[in-house]
């Protein structure tokens, strides 16, 4: 959600209530008691939840979770937190975790802004990744885009100094907006130089969504920015 002052908060997503497949239901039934995290339980204790040290990576809006499971399998010593509001996607991810023997991902099924505000401790994350957020391509809907200055302040406060923010989109206008917003914000450094996008080769596993877009001739833009300075605690993002 995006804070609009005195107005009702604007959500950056539309909650779709699609049916779950048998595999997705199985993933939820078996996986949620093992890997699910409940909103409202206070600040997350990473050590208790993962029972292993290691880098901490948060992914917001993982969709069906293909790339997140691939990353979890490839980096078993890294601790991943996934946030997704759509239950079928959560079920799919957990079914894939069961199939691939992946045990280093924990999942919230809730609004990411509220999770960041209430559950993620300050300066606790090594990386935040947001791949293919809804571009809200019509100009009148741009206010719904997730990557806005107040949300970036919230992300920055949860990253460790030197922590990485990795964004990706297949909508060029959104890539330009994200580059502009991050370029103007204090406390961020573009890892690849001013106004430069990150090379795509090997920076993350491709998703089925991305492959489908490539077949249709879509471009893809990756941005990688590091937190560089001490930051003040941001005002709550509602």
Q: What would the two tokens of residue 159 be?
A: 């990253």
Q: What would the two tokens of residue 162 be?
A: 């030197």
Cβ(82)–Cβ(59) under 8 Å? yes
Q: What angle do CA 112, 120, 80 make, to 5 degrees?
A: 80
Task: Say if strands 221-227 and 36-37 run parallel, antiparallel, or are unpaired.
Answer: unpaired
Give residue for tokens 């990485």: 164
Give residue for tokens 């880098």: 55
- Collect all residues with Cβ–Cβ distance below 8 Å to 10 and sequence separation of at least 6: 1, 2, 4, 143, 144
| Residue 106, beta-bridge partner list | 81
Clarify whether 3 is annotated catalytic.
no
The residue from 3, 103, 134, 170 that is catalytic is 134
- Collect all residues with Cβ–Cβ distance below 8 Å to 170 and sequence separation of at least 6: 132, 135, 210, 213, 218, 219, 220, 221
The catalytic residue positions are 134
């Amino acid at each position: 959600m995006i804070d609009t002052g005195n107005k009702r908060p604007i959500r950056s997503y539309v909650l779709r209530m699609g049916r779950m497949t048998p595999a997705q239901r199985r993933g939820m039934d078996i996986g949620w008691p093992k890997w699910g995290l409940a909103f409202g339980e206070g600040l997350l204790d990473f050590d208790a939840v993962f029972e292993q040290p290691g880098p901490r990576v948060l992914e917001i809006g993982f969709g069906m979770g293909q790339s997140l499971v691939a990353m979890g399998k490839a980096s078993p010593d890294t601790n991943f937190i996934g946030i997704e509001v759509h239950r079928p996607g959560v079920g799919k991810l957990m079914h894939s975790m069961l199939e691939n023997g992946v045990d280093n991902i924990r999942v919230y099924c809730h609004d990411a802004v509220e999770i960041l505000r209430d559950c993620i401790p300050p300066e606790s994350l090594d990386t935040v990744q947001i791949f293919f957020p809804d571009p809200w391509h019509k100009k009148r809907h741009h206010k719904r885009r997730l990557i806005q200055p107040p949300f970036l302040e919230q992300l920055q406060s949860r990253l460790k100094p030197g922590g990485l923010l990795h964004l990706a989109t297949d909508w060029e206008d959104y890539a330009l907006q994200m580059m502009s917003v991050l370029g103007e914000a204090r406390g961020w450094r573009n890892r690849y130089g001013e106004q430069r996008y990150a090379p795509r080769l090997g920076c993350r596993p491709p998703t089925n969504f991305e492959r489908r877009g490539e077949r249709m001739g879509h471009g893809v833009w990756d941005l990688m920015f590091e937190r560089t300075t001490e930051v003040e605690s941001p005002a709550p993002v509602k």
